[in-house]
Structure 1
Amino acid sequence: MSSEHADNRQRILLVTGMLGAGKSTALRELEDLGWEAIDNFPIRLLQRLIGGDVGQQSLAIGFDCRTRGFVPADVIERVKKLTNREDLVLTTLFLDCSGHELERRFNETRRRHFLAQDMPVATGIAAERELMGPLRRWADVLIDTSNFSTNDLKQSIREHFAPTAPQEMTVTITSFGFSRGMPPVADLVFDMRFLNNPHWDPELRPLTGKDQGVGDHIEKDPAFASVFARIRDLLLELLPRYAAQGKSYVNIAFGCTGGRHRSVYTAERMAGALRDGGFSPTVLHRNLGSRASEMLEGPQQP
């Protein structure tokens, strides 16, 4: 769905998905974006809610398997009828999550799964996944939050459902450590682990990619200059094309083993190159404060 709201039709977003997948977080973020949000709304009253004259404020309606009178097939039929209205733009968002991660979240919060009763959490999740299957297959937008932090989900909601597009495309450059997991919302990921690792220099180990000594070490690697230039030229070609296609957010990530040296330096250098090219990137260093670990960095190269 386009993030622009160029006509006078009201936007209706149905927000559903697996329990524990982030529906409440999504609705709160939509409220912050200016949507009117209603949670656990009886779907049988949906046509009555928007049956008459509609306003101009975007409306997000949350529901799940706990909602009174919830039958997926009935939900789909009711929504199909509403999609024919010329005064509405109706979209369905389904929030999914892996069963293992849902179990962890339920156990962490000590919440009882609605469909589990006195059975294990995994049993309730399996029953819910079967129940929600038709809605998952039918939804317009699917967001899998298995590897998302709360901030990752909020960012994804902003990218999909901000009422108006930003004046300029937002470019974010992130450094990260592969040993601590991939960034879940990156559009373009570049692996810098082919470069000589400053971690194995005892004087550079406590420093980061923001320090001159680390930068000098990386610059001396024979592969750095040519690879950096190729990535820079690629990004300078791609970013205007993304903007021309109406993409509001582009997330670029540079990774190394621990996320403290090679990825940090490359991210900082690339941000400067993109600024020279007319863009205004935001730079985030996800693992800059992480502790250096020889076990994570792997064997030292001769």
Structure 2
Amino acid sequence: MNNPAPTHHDVTQSLVIVSGMSGSGKSVALKTFEDLGFYCVDNLPAELLSDFVRSTMRADGTPEKLAVGIDIRSRSDLANLPEWLSAVGKLGLDPKLVFFDARDEVLLKRYADTRRRHPLSHLGLSLADAISLEKQVLKPLRTLADVVIDTSTLNVHQLRRQVITEFGLSSDSTLSLLFESFAYRRGVPPDADFVFDARGLTNPHWNAELRPLSGRDQAVRDFLETQSEAPEYAAQVAAFLDTWLPRMQSDTRSYVTIAFGCSGGRHRSVYLAERLAEHAREKGWPEVAVHHRELD
């Protein structure tokens, strides 16, 4: 008797290769896969793919749900990716390659807005030339991709929802929450529904040991939580959100962005966004994303 063919659900939950253009939203996608229960690794040398998959196999030989970022940063010859995917197939997995893309003018604007450096900037190229070269190098991967997602017109919420719809289980009526940090000197995020000003809290920037860190780091969290004002602030915001977010959930509203701002967008706002996102998950909200505009 023949074994039944694997279902779409079986395949997509084995191994997802996340690739695409820098600035197209790959980091948001990987974070979303992590929230869906995938074990995620970014910037894995592509020739190590089968070794990595083998090392994560469970004792009974079944695979973990894996999402692996492979893109222009890889020092491997990406033209050999079909060979490496074939090696993974011999381990009993059917990998799915998802390629994220965006129009050139959109990528240029995103880099200008975030002031990030392109991975190919070390070659001395202009941003436009770096994007053009990256597109040329990644063309074989785009051609090979099982799914191509153009993020040119998608915000963080919409990108996250598309990944969840494709690879997870999501109710259409679920409210997607985005907790975002930002620096006031670069403006308030235009799509923010709620904005909370953290500039009144003690600033870790003036502590030389904490200055190079961010609100993601435990040392910064510990510092802020020894100041009674920060936990009190977080508790008051949490109480507000617990009261009003459930009332915003409806068939006509899918996304809510809660933004926290401070002077540099590195310490206080990041701490609050992370802490309130944790609180939202503890409260049972199924779709919670975090975006640090000045860090990501």
- Shorter-chain TM-score bucket reads 0.5 to 0.7
Asked if the contact 2:104–2:131 (Cα under 8 Å) also holds between the matched residues in 1, the reply is yes
Counterpart in 1 of 2:167? 161
Counterpart in 2 of 1:18? 21
Aligned residue type for 2:38: W
Counterpart in 2 of 1:133? 139
Structure 1's 153 and 67: CA in aligned 2 closer, same or farther, altered over 3 A? Answer: same
Q: What's the CA shift for 1:3?
A: 5.8
Aligned residue type for 1:73: A
Q: What's the CA shift for 1:82?
A: 2.2
Q: Which of 110, 117, 131 is 1:112 aligned to?
A: 117
Q: What's the CA shift for 1:53?
A: 7.2
Counterpart in 2 of 1:42? 45
Can you list the C-alpha shifts for 1:47-106, whole angstroms capped at 9, x where unaligned? Answer: 21123672343011112111222x221112211332344x31311111111110000111
Counterpart in 1 of 2:67? 60
The 3-state SS of whatever aligns with 1:68 is coil
Structure 1's 53 and 27: CA in aligned 2 closer, same or farther, altered over 3 A? Answer: closer
Counterpart in 2 of 1:79? 85
Runs of at least 5 residues in structure 1 that lack an aligned partner in the other structure: 174-280, 287-302
The 3-state SS of whatever aligns with 1:65 is coil
Runs of at least 5 residues in structure 2 that lack an aligned partner in the other structure: 1-5, 175-249, 256-296
Asked if the contact 1:10–1:89 (Cα under 8 Å) also holds between the matched residues in 2, the reply is no
CA distance in 2, matches of 1:3, 1:30: 17
The 3-state SS of whatever aligns with 1:77 is helix
TM-score normalised by the chain length of structure 2: 0.52
Structure 1's 112 and 10: CA in aligned 2 closer, same or farther, altered over 3 A? Answer: closer
Residue 253 (structure 2) pairs with residue 284 (structure 1): yes
Structure 1's 73 and 119: CA in aligned 2 closer, same or farther, altered over 3 A? Answer: closer
TM-score normalised by the chain length of structure 1: 0.51
Aligned residue type for 1:159: T
The 3-state SS of whatever aligns with 1:4 is helix
The 3-state SS of whatever aligns with 1:89 is coil
Can you list the C-alpha shifts for 1:245-267, whole angstroms capped at 9, x where unaligned? Answer: xxxxxxxxxxxxxxxxxxxxxxx
Counterpart in 2 of 1:148? 154
Asked if the contact 1:14–1:91 (Cα under 8 Å) also holds between the matched residues in 2, the reply is yes
Asked if the contact 1:29–1:154 (Cα under 8 Å) also holds between the matched residues in 2, the reply is yes
Q: Number of paired residues? A: 173
Asked if the contact 1:10–1:54 (Cα under 8 Å) also holds between the matched residues in 2, the reply is no
CA distance in 1, matches of 2:254, 2:75: 44
Aligned residue type for 2:47: R
CA distance in 2, matches of 1:17, 1:152: 17
Asked if the contact 1:13–1:90 (Cα under 8 Å) also holds between the matched residues in 2, the reply is yes
Percent of counterpart pairs with the same letter?
Answer: 31
Aligned residue type for 1:4: H
The 3-state SS of whatever aligns with 1:46 is helix
